């Protein structure tokens, strides 16, 4: 009886019966090599196949018993790499015989420091604003830019056999974190001005994740206040709509004024100035004679007032003025010298003061041909 041996799962030649393709997102497009390289190292390390691409494993000789197993693992890893890059880059990788050749080719082409890319990332981070995005969206976008920048210019690590004990590297890392906190808070909208001031006044500054949590709480508070205000506004609008509907039920629309009502008769659509119950109906045919009659009556009243004024004692002239007037008229031969003063006086006294000329022209009898 032959005993089946269990496969060594810890061996780097072990392949799972259902090997899944190692797909890294995002795919390599040339500008994200450092981030892609880090993701691929993790994926290959999880499969225990990292030694096939980092140069720590030599290619077996032709008479090596592990050659067939190595070739199977090599083809598998090479297919993983091709499926993890863009189609344009994959076209030149299919001609490589080994996975390590494809790996070194990508490193030689895209691993060089791109200072233009570094300058672009720095400018984008400094000018990034929240705008209409949420705090989560803004923080995720900025963190992605930070990771891309760190992949091009990573923080140095001490490689000494005995790690340094001074605080220089720790201070450098703290300054790097402070720069990220300032960049994140600067990009927030003005409604987070209070929380920005509070965080920047903390000593020491909290971690970037703690700052993000504080900003998220402030955003939730602002949303709660805004929802309360909107609820109050909706209640006011609902009340106004009910009042407008009640107004339409009374017979007038919400946009028009209420109907006019007469204070004399109590009916609507007119005022007391145009009330027929108070002033009567207008009749233009009957009103014209009344106007003439009123004008004639006014003339009669004026004539009666003039007659009354003529007969009133206040309109009589004095005796002295009458004698002077008579003597003056006698000098110009308008009155005869034989006129009796009593008759003339009585005639003049019965005349109006304001109509002296008419008195002489109408009432004084003279033998002269001269008329005044």
Is residue 99 within 8 Å of 53, Cβ to Cβ?
A: yes
Is residue 42 within 8 Å of 23, Cβ to Cβ?
A: no
Q: What is the pLDDT of residue 105?
A: 92
Q: State how far the Cα of 253 lies from the Cα of 238, in Å rounded to an integer.
A: 17
Candidates 48, 46, 42; CA nearest to 14 is 48
Q: Kindly state the average pLDDT of the residues 202-208.
A: 89
DSSP state of 189: -
Tokens of 335: 């009155």
The band of 155, judged by pLDDT with boundaries at 50, 70 and 90, is confident
Q: What is the pLDDT of residue 7?
A: 67
Is residue 205 within 8 Å of 177, Cβ to Cβ?
A: yes
Using DSSP, state whether 14 is helix, strand or coil.
coil
- DSSP string spanning 151-219? HHSPPP---SSS---SSHHHHHHHHHHHHHHHHHHHTS-GGGHHHHHHHHT-SS---HHHHHHHHHHHH
Q: What is the pLDDT of residue 214?
A: 92
| Whole-prediction pTM | 0.48
Q: Which residues pair with 261 in a beta bridge?
A: 268
Q: Which residues does 181 contact at the CB level (< 8 Å), separation at least 6?
A: 199, 205, 208, 211
Candidates 42, 27, 41; CA nearest to 84 is 27
pLDDT tens digit sequence for 290-313? 444 444 445 555 445 544 444 444
Q: Which sequence spans correspond to the domains of the chain?
A: 33-110, 115-156+169-223, 321-372
- DSSP string spanning 106-149? HHHHH-S--HHHHHHHHHHHHH---TTS-HHHHHHHHHHHHHHH
Is residue 359 within 8 Å of 370, Cβ to Cβ?
A: no
How far is C-alpha 29 from the chain's CA centre? 41
DSSP state of 268: B
Q: Which residue has the higher pLDDT, 137 or 170?
A: 137
pLDDT tens digit sequence for 349-358? 444 344 444 4
User: Which of the listed ranges 50-59, 173-182, 241-250, 334-343 does the model predict with the highest average pLDDT?
Assistant: 173-182
Q: Kindly state the average pLDDT of the residues 124-135.
A: 90
Other C-beta atoms lying within 10 Å of the C-beta of residue 117: 16
Q: Kindly state the average pLDDT of the residues 267-293.
A: 63
Candidates 344, 369, 338; CA nearest to 359 is 344
Q: Kindly state the average pLDDT of the residues 269-285.
A: 70
Is residue 211 within 8 Å of 199, Cβ to Cβ?
A: yes
- Give the length of the chain: 372
User: Which of the listed ranges 6-15, 209-218, 360-369 does the model predict with the highest average pLDDT?
Assistant: 209-218
Tokens of 226: 């805004």
Q: Which residues does 359 contact at the CB level (< 8 Å), separation at least 6?
A: 347, 348, 351, 352
Q: Kindly state the average pLDDT of the residues 56-63.
A: 82
Q: State how far the Cα of 106 lies from the Cα of 294, in Å rounded to an integer.
A: 118
Candidates 99, 84, 97; CA nearest to 39 is 84
């Amino acid at each position: 009886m032959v005993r089946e041996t269990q496969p060594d799962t810890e061996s780097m030649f072990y392949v799972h019966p259902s090997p899944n393709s190692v797909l890294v997102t995002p795919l390599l497009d040339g500008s994200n090599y450092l981030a892609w390289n880090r993701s691929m190292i993790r994926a290959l390390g999880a499969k225990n196949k990292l030694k096939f691409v980092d140069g720590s494993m030599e290619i077996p000789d032709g008479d090596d018993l592990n050659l067939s197993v190595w070739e199977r693992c090599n083809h598998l890893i090479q297919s993983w790499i091709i499926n993890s890059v863009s189609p344009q880059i994959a076209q030149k990788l299919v001609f490589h015989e080994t996975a390590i050749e494809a790996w070194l080719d990508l490193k030689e082409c895209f691993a060089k420091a791109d200072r233009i890319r570094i300058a672009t990332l720095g400018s984008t981070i400094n000018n990034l604003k929240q705008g209409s995005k949420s705090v989560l969206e803004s923080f995720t976008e900025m963190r992605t830019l930070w990771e891309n920048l760190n992949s091009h210019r990573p923080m140095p690590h001490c490689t000494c056999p005995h790690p340094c004990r001074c605080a220089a590297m720790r201070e450098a890392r703290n300054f790097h974190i402070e720069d990220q906190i300032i960049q994140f808070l600067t990009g927030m909208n003005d409604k987070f001005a209070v929380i920005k001031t509070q965080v920047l006044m903390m000593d020491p500054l909290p971690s970037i994740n703690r700052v993000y949590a504080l900003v998220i709480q402030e955003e939730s508070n602002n949303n709660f206040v805004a929802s309360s205000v909107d609820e109050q506004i909706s209640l006011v609008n609902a009340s106004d709509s009910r009042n407008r509907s009640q107004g339409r039920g009374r017979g007038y629309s919400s946009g028009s004024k209420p109907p006019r009502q007469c204070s004399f008769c109590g009916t609507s659509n007119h005022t007391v100035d145009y009330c027929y119950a108070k002033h009567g109906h207008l009749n233009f045919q009957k009103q014209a004679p009344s106007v003439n009659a009123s004008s004639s009556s006014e003339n009669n009243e004026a004539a009666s007032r003039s007659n009354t004024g003529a007969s009133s004692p206040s309109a009589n002239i004095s005796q002295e003025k009458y004698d002077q007037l008579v003597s003056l008229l006698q000098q110009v031969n308008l009155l005869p010298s034989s006129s009796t003063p009593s008759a003339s006086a009585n005639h003049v006294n019965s005349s109006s003061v304001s109509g002296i000329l008419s008195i002489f022209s109408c009432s004084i009898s003279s033998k002269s041909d001269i008329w005044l």
